[in-house]
């Protein structure tokens, strides 16, 4: 486990912050990063500082503000490549990158030297992550694929490919961010006191003033959860319309009953029924302070007849970036350990303990 090479697909907020967090982890070597414009590959280890400086502020603010595949081929960008008033640049702004018509293929072609690939890509089409996985299957990759996807229905699409992952030697870790991810894992631990779990409530708070530019893709994905939107209508909002939605809420948007995969991931781990899981939260894009404390509440019945609630709280000062990217790398390391033990297929965060 001393040396793990990994690649990041997407140089938006999540991709860049993952690279940054990995600088604090001795055993992790980032060797590749791409967006739809190009690929940076260096098996001696990317110069993360240079790459971050080159891509910082290089934000896509238009629709599709997230790395989305247009054709299952190239990775289209977001927060990567298109400045609101500027030229499309993306990762090729880095001196380590070269332009490419098919950056995913460039990563796959070097797959032998890459232990894990983090798909740091917002999912504006439900089958986007599964389609990216298909490309790795077709390209003969064997290693770890890991994503930070949100939507429940995507898990089933990945499960349908379970046997193919098995045959290919791919360990796919899905939903490995904060929720699903860290908070799903916390719910699984909190559930251990009970013989029956009746409710899991995940309630998150995110303050995103200084991180707003970097996380527009996430905000757009969140807006898709409001009752009056869905994934397509949120994707198609212009930048001005997106701002208008935020203004309508005075910068503070509350979400209820989000379709977050914590439900199916807890069910497939045997913790509780998916319908007993609820996910909601409050996003404040005008302040950095969390508008509410992120809390996981697990209610159940103990073997000796008590009904109780175990709770798990995140500190109000841990940022969303810390709570998404730290766990993603922890789960990545666990995925590599499983892969090296020849354990393949689809795994969720409730089935794995992330490695520190
Ligand atoms: C995610 O990226 O996992 C989902 C986002 C919520 C993150 C919760 C972090 C909580 C915290 O930092 O206290 C959001 C739904 N996009």
Which residue has the CA at smallest separation from atom 4 of ligand 1? 179
What pLDDT is attached to residue 1?
57
For residue range 50-108, list pLDDT tens digits in order.
999 998 876 443 333 334 343 444 444 333 333 333 345 789 999 999 999 999 999 99
Ligand 1 centroid, distance to 89 Cα (angstroms): 28
Gap between the Cα atoms of 157 and 165, Å rounded: 12
Ligand 1 atom nearest to 294, measured from its CA: 13
Write out the catalytic residue numbers.
Answer: 150, 221, 225
Q: Which residues pair with 8 in a beta bridge?
A: 33, 118
What pLDDT is attached to residue 60?
42
Ligand 1 centroid, distance to 101 Cα (angstroms): 32
Q: What is the CA radius of gyration of the chain?
A: 19
- Least Cα distance to 330 among 298, 296, 294, 355 occurs for 355
Gap between the Cα atoms of 117 and 99, Å rounded: 20
- Residue 9 sits at the vertex; the CA angle it makes with 349 and 242, to the nearest 5 degrees, is 85
Ligand 1 atom nearest to 293, measured from its CA: 13
Ligand 1 atom nearest to 222, measured from its CA: 16
- Least Cα distance to 175 among 66, 283, 308, 268 occurs for 268
Ligand 1 centroid, distance to 295 Cα (angstroms): 11
Which residue has the CA at smallest separation from atom 13 of ligand 1? 294
Gap between the Cα atoms of 152 and 168, Å rounded: 24
Ligand 1 centroid, distance to 52 Cα (angstroms): 22
Which residues in the chain show pLDDT less than 50? 59-87
Classify residue 151 by burial, with Cβ atoms within 10 Å: 0-12, 13-18, 19+. Answer: buried
Ligand 1 centroid, distance to 163 Cα (angstroms): 31
Copy the structure tokens of residue 273. 């029924």
Ligand 1 centroid, distance to 324 Cα (angstroms): 7
Classify residue 175 by burial, with Cβ atoms within 10 Å: 0-12, 13-18, 19+. Answer: buried
Ligand 1 atom nearest to 180, measured from its CA: 3
What CATH number is given for 4-178+321-351 in this structure? Answer: 3.40.50.720
- Report yes or no: 15 and 73 within 8 Å, Cβ to Cβ: no
What pLDDT is attached to residue 90?
85
- Give the residue, out of 21, 121, 206, 208, with the most ligand 1 atoms within 8 A of its beta carbon, to mutate for a pocket test: 206
What pLDDT is attached to residue 81?
35
Ligand 1: which residues within 6 Å by Cβ?
Answer: 177-179, 181, 204-206, 218, 222, 290, 294, 314, 318, 320, 323-324
What pLDDT is attached to residue 270?
97
For residue range 206-229, list pLDDT tens digits in order.
999 998 888 888 899 999 999 999
Flag whether the ipTM exceeds 0.95. yes
Domain boundaries, the chain: 4-178+321-351, 182-316
What pLDDT is attached to residue 69?
41
Can you give the three-state secondary structure of the chain, one letter per residue? Answer: CCCEEEEEECCCHHHHHHHHHHCCCCCEEEEEEEECCEEEECCCCCCHHHHHHHHCCCCCCCCCCCCCECCCCCECCCCCCECCCCCECHHHHCCCEEECCCHHHHHHHCHHHCCEEEECCCCCCCCHHHHHHHHHHHCCCCCEEEECCCCHHHHHHHHCCHHHHHHHCCEEECCCECCCEHHHHHHHHHHHHCCEEEEEEEEEEEECCCCCHHHHHHHHHHHCCCCCCCHHHHHHCCHHHHHHHHHHCCCEEEECCCCCCHHHHHHHCCCCCHHHEEEEEEEECCCCCCCCCCEEEEEEECCCCCEEEEEEECCCCCCHHHHHHHHHHHHHHHHHHHHHCCCCEEECCCCCCCCC
What pLDDT is attached to residue 124?
77
Q: Which residues pair with 297 in a beta bridge?
A: 201, 311
What pLDDT is attached to residue 306?
98
Ligand 1 atom nearest to 323, measured from its CA: 12
Residue in the structure block whose two tokens are 């070097």: 110
Ligand 1 centroid, distance to 256 Cα (angstroms): 14
């Amino acid at each position: 486990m001393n040396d793990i090479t990994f690649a990041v697909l997407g140089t938006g907020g999540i991709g860049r912050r993952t690279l940054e967090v990995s600088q604090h982890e001795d055993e992790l070597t980032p060797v590749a990063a791409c967006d739809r414009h190009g690929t940076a590959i260096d098996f001696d280890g990317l110069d993360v500082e240079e790459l971050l400086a080159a891509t910082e502020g290089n934000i896509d603010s238009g629709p599709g503000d997230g790395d989305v595949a247009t054709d299952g081929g190239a990775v289209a960008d977001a927060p990567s490549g298109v400045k609101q008033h500027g030229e499309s640049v993306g990762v090729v702004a880095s001196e380590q990158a070269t332009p490419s018509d098919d950056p995913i293929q460039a990563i796959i072609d070097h797959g032998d030297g890459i232990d894990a690939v983090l798909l740091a890509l917002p999912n504006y089409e439900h089958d986007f992550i599964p389609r990216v996985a298909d490309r790795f299957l077709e390209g003969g990759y064997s290693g770890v694929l890991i994503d930070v996807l949100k939507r429940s229905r995507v898990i089933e699409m990945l499960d349908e490919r379970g046997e193919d992952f098995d045959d290919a030697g791919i360990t796919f870790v899905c939903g490995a961010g904060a929720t699903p991810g860290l908070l799903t894992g916390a719910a699984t631990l909190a559930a251990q006191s009970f013989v029956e779990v009746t409710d899991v409530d995940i309630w998150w708070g995110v303050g995103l003033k200084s991180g707003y530019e970097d996380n527009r893709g996430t905000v757009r994905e969140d807006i898709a959860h409001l009752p009056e939107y869905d994934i397509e209508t949120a994707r198609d909002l212009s930048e001005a319309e997106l701002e208008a939605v935020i203004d309508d809420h005075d910068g503070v948007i509350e979400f209820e009953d989000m379709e977050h995969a914590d439900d199916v991931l807890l069910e497939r781990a045997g913790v509780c029924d998916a319908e007993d899981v609820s996910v909601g939260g409050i996003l404040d894009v005008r302040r950095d302070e969390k508008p509410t404390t992120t809390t996981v509440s697990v209610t159940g019945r103990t073997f000796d007849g008590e009904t109780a609630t175990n709770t798990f709280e995140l500190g109000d000062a841990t940022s969303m970036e810390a709570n998404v990217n730290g766990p993603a790398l922890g789960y990545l390391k666990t995925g590599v350990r499983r892969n090296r033990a020849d354990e393949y297929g689809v795994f969720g965060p409730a089935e794995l303990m992330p490695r520190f």
